Amino acid sequence: MDFNLMERLRQPAETKIVLLVMDGLGGLPGDAGGKTALEAAHTPALDALALKSICGLHEPLGPGVTPGSGPAHLALFGYNPLQYEVGRGVLAALGTGFDLQSGDVAARGNFGTVDGQGRVRDRRAGRIDTETAAKLCDKLREVKIEGVRIFVEPVKEYRFLLVLRGEGLDGDIADTDPQQVGVPPLAPEARVPEARNTADAVHRFVETARDRLAEDHPANTILLRGFSQRPQWPPMPETFGLRCAAIAGYPMYRGVSRLLGMTVLETGATLSEEIATLEKHWADHDFFYLHVKKIDSAGEDGDFESKVDLITEVDRYVPRLLDLQPDVLIVTGDHSTPAAMARHSWHPVPVLLHARDARPDRVDRFGERACMNGGLGPRFPASDLMALAMAHAGRLAKFGA
């Protein structure tokens, strides 16, 4: 549903929506003809719920497209990920939990190696470890540029986050990472006149940083890309007329939620702690997004058995969720991460939507194959879910007389 129509039809109600996202939920059979992790998991609570729910499988970004976690979540929240895109710098800030403010310019940095002629030898500085990089970040943090505040945060291995804060900054600056070896790093060029001052500041920072790192071979230079600023998107609370809360332990998901204007609740990262957070704040919000990360990690590790066990464990908490009597409960994933592929994939993701007025289908268990014959269809756009949640929560008025 487009946001204009949503704005026109939304109406207040005293109802609660819970969206439980098992990251990377969807999968493939563990062996030929076998079951997927979700099918193999022991899920009596989800199966009983499926029997009373309408089910299906969503495609986060359309047929064949494998989504990153950020875009996949935007789709679940009803935002078209092709339209609402963030730069790499902002993504890096979200991933580290950096409190990116409006106007800040963020870039993703690599420590790299240059030779005596200043030509890039290694764009990843021999993949130095996170600890080494953290010390180099401390060094870079000492670089002072007039009129601009500089933040440098380690990310992982050779990667770091650079943030510039100041008046009138503009992120429309070209990458300094040449994306190849044997050539010098590029200058941080302004791509629009408004970004000239920012580009100058970046230039001064880079020059000073390189001087400071000169003796730190292999990490004797920095390469920057994805300069970007926090986007100004329509906030979820306004779009849907919902007081939205995010309950997620990992920085990336908290960051995306914050970008959408959700209240990000303090929480422990286990599902038990997340549900405790949910229970505690139940009265204060209308929409709760709960995120379970580890299932995706098991998939990425190619660990089918762990994925099965983690899904089985989630199932044990479902009764506690139901005790809260949410008006709408959606259980799904953001994308598929089949252990057989050990990475995100394009495969549609099982969904179950439970609500008093949900029309039951013939699906009697929660799994990929079962959901293919569900009433939501075997391949529907993830962005349909928020409209369906709103409708089942009695929060959408009739269109026309």
- Considering only 41-49, 198-206, 286-294, 377-385, which stretch makes contact with its own copies by CB under 8 A? 377-385
Question: Among 41, 47, 374, 382, which residue sits at the site for its own copies (rule: CB under 8 A)?
Answer: 374
Tokens of 152: 């440098």
Output the six-digit token pair for 306: 């762990």
264-293 residues near its own copies, rule: CB under 8 A: none
Strand-pair category, 221-229 with 105-114 = antiparallel
Distance of CA 379 to the CA centre of its chain: 21
Q: How far is the CB of 82 from its own copies (least distance, A)?
A: 7
Judging by DSSP bridges, how do beta strands 120-122 and 17-22 pair with one another? Answer: unpaired
What is the smallest separation between the CB atom of 275 and its own copies, expressed in angstroms? 26
Residue found under tokens 């050990």: 342
CA distances from 275 to 269, 270, 355 (A): 10, 9, 19
**How many residues belong to the chain?**
401
Q: Tell me: does residue 156 bind its own copies (CB under 8 A).
A: no
Based on the shown chain and the rule CB under 8 A, indicate whether residue 82 belongs to the binding site for its own copies.
Answer: yes
> Counting contacts by CB under 8 A, is residue 101 touching its own copies?
no
Q: Please report whether residue 186 would count as binding its own copies according to CB under 8 A.
A: no
Per-residue HEC secondary structure of 27-65 comes to CCCCCCCCCCHHHHCCCHHHHHHHHHCEEEEEECCCCCC
Position 24 contacts its own copies (CB under 8 A)? no
- The answer to whether 13 contacts its own copies (rule: CB under 8 A) is no
- Residue with token string 């010390």: 135
Report yes or no: 188 and 202 within 8 Å, Cβ to Cβ: yes
C-alpha dihedral over 181, 184, 185, 188, to 10 degrees? -150
Contact status: 357 vs its own copies (CB under 8 A): yes
Question: By CB under 8 A, is residue 66 in contact with its own copies?
Answer: yes
| Residue in 30, 70, 154, 367 binding its own copies, rule: CB under 8 A | 70
Dihedral sign from CA coordinates of 308, 310, 313, 317: negative
| Contact region with its own copies (CB under 8 A), list: 62-70, 118-126, 137-145, 193-201 | 62-70
Among 172, 204, 346, 364, binds its own copies (CB under 8 A): 346
Q: Quote the least distance from Cβ 368 to its own copies, whole Å.
A: 6
Site string for its own copies, 35-54 (x = CB under 8 A): -x---------------x--
* Alpha helices, DSSP H, located in 216-268: 236-240, 251-259
Per rule CB under 8 A, is residue 322 in the interface with its own copies?
A: no
Q: Does 342 bind its own copies (CB under 8 A)?
A: no
In the complex, the residues that contact its own copies under the rule CB under 8 A are 1, 5, 9, 28-29, 32-33, 36, 52, 56-57, 61-71, 81-82, 85, 88, 91, 95, 338, 340-341, 343-348, 357, 359-362, 368-369, 372-380, 384, 387-392, 396-401
